[in-house]
Amino acid sequence: MKTCNILRLAALTSSLIFSAGAIAADSFKIGLILPMTGQQASTGRQEEAAARLYMAQHGDTVAGRKIELIVKDDTTVPDMTKRLAQELIVNDKVNVIAGFGITPSAMATAPLATQSKTPMVVTAAATSSITEASPYVVRTSFTLAQASVSVANWAGKNKISKVITLVSDYGPGKDAEKYFSQTFTANGGQIVESLRVPLMNPDFAPFLQKVRDAKPDALFVFVPSGSGASLMKQFIERGMDKAGIKLIATGDVTDDDQLNGMGDGALGVVTGHHYSAAHPSKMNKDFVKAFEKANNGMRPNFMAVAAYDGMHVIYEALKATKGEGDGDALVTAMKGMKFESPRGPISIDPDTRDIVQNIYMRKVEKQHGQLYNIEFDVLKDVKDPGKTK
């Protein structure tokens, strides 16, 4: 009798353990680490909204697994990103980590992805070298080299011969400066001066004064998403445009999140980038409409589209591996993936795990009373020019 009870208990316990295991195996966890507060908070706001929209549109069950999105705020502090990633991997046992608002956050976390064999989908940070920091990194955002080379080529063909560059003094800024300058000078242009401003709380005034005094044909700028409006304000206040200095930039500066608030002084600014909310495809029109509807009229920017596509890459990899969720298998499934995004056709380069996409030349114009980046030229299927191999 006693033995029988013990056996019964053992059977019951093992079935409990088994079902707890089954529940855990059922859910597929995505740890999305973003700057929800701090200087780059708009990136977190845009990306979380886009990830949630993707799930609302595509359901939260994929290949039999329930998708669980865990959003964490790294407050734009790289040490915090790393700590949160560690907790998500060790305690929450997430299957994928994603997000990474700024390059130092992605760089601090990449070794953890390698050690734990966890796919790390980079949906924001854009320094070329990030994909080389871990074989588990897959990127759906862009690189500054992609954007800057296109602006340099355009400038060379549009009567701009003397340029000063002004970039945020960290990874993506250095890439923007390097790839713009390299291409522009190869086309016969001249870089008069290369200025770098601090990433955190930059005061552009003294730098812009310098530019005004030097009077180049154009000022080429990169500042990260969220910082463009203050740069533009000071550029206009100083009457730089009236002094005949043209502003050219990567699309981070005329970010759709802030563009409409920049005022008519932004009209005519030419940028190169991979996404505009005004991209005229049917898929993008539907995306913008659904995003605005779900978020009190907030216009999606290039960060939103990268998070939306990042979710797509994760969903499709999970489907391709039939819900298995093993880190190596997921990364293998992501390599070479090809699909239509609201930004246009994109793919994941199977060799570098970086995004291949169209880069558009755009000009700020008014449409229906609002400022937009209107595309006027396209370079198709651009691979990252910044890869060392």
List of residues contacting ligand VNL (CB under 6 A): 40, 43, 101-103, 124-127, 171-172, 224-226, 252
From the list 152, 110, 151, the residue with the least C-alpha distance to 127 is 110
Specify the residue, 95 or 227, whose C-beta has the smaller distance to ligand VNL.
227
Specify the residue, 101 or 300, whose C-beta has the smaller distance to ligand VNL.
101
Question: What's the closest the beta carbon of residue 228 comes to ligand VNL, in angstroms?
Answer: 9
Work out the burial of residue 298: count CB atoms within 10 Å of its CB; fewer than 13 is exposed, 13-18 middle, 19 or more buried.
middle
Question: What's the closest the beta carbon of residue 126 comes to ligand VNL, in angstroms?
Answer: 4
Would the CA dihedral through 23, 25, 26, 27 be positive or negative? positive
CA distance 278 to 360: 11
Show the beta-strand stretches assigned E in 136-213.
137-139, 162-168, 190-197
Question: What's the closest the beta carbon of residue 217 comes to ligand VNL, in angstroms?
Answer: 25
Show the beta-strand stretches assigned E in the chain.
27-34, 61-62, 65-73, 96-99, 120-122, 137-139, 162-168, 190-197, 218-222, 246-250, 270-273, 338-341, 344-348, 355-367, 370-382
With beta carbons less than 8 A apart as the criterion, state whether 189 and 154 touch. no
- Would you state the structure tokens that stand for residue 375, as one six-digit string? 């595309």
- Chain residue whose CB lies nearest ligand VNL: 224
- Would you state the structure tokens that stand for residue 300, as one six-digit string? 């999606």
CA distance 142 to 273: 9
Specify the residue, 240 or 253, whose C-beta has the smaller distance to ligand VNL.
253
Specify the residue, 28 or 222, whose C-beta has the smaller distance to ligand VNL.
222
Specify the residue, 95 or 141, whose C-beta has the smaller distance to ligand VNL.
141
Specify the residue, 171 or 189, whose C-beta has the smaller distance to ligand VNL.
171
Question: What's the closest the beta carbon of residue 324 comes to ligand VNL, in angstroms?
Answer: 32
With beta carbons less than 8 A apart as the criterion, state whether 31 and 73 touch. no
Question: What's the closest the beta carbon of residue 130 comes to ligand VNL, in angstroms?
Answer: 7
Question: What's the closest the beta carbon of residue 236 comes to ligand VNL, in angstroms?
Answer: 21
Specify the residue, 95 or 301, whose C-beta has the smaller distance to ligand VNL.
301
CA distance 125 to 110: 12
With beta carbons less than 8 A apart as the criterion, state whether 141 and 161 touch. no
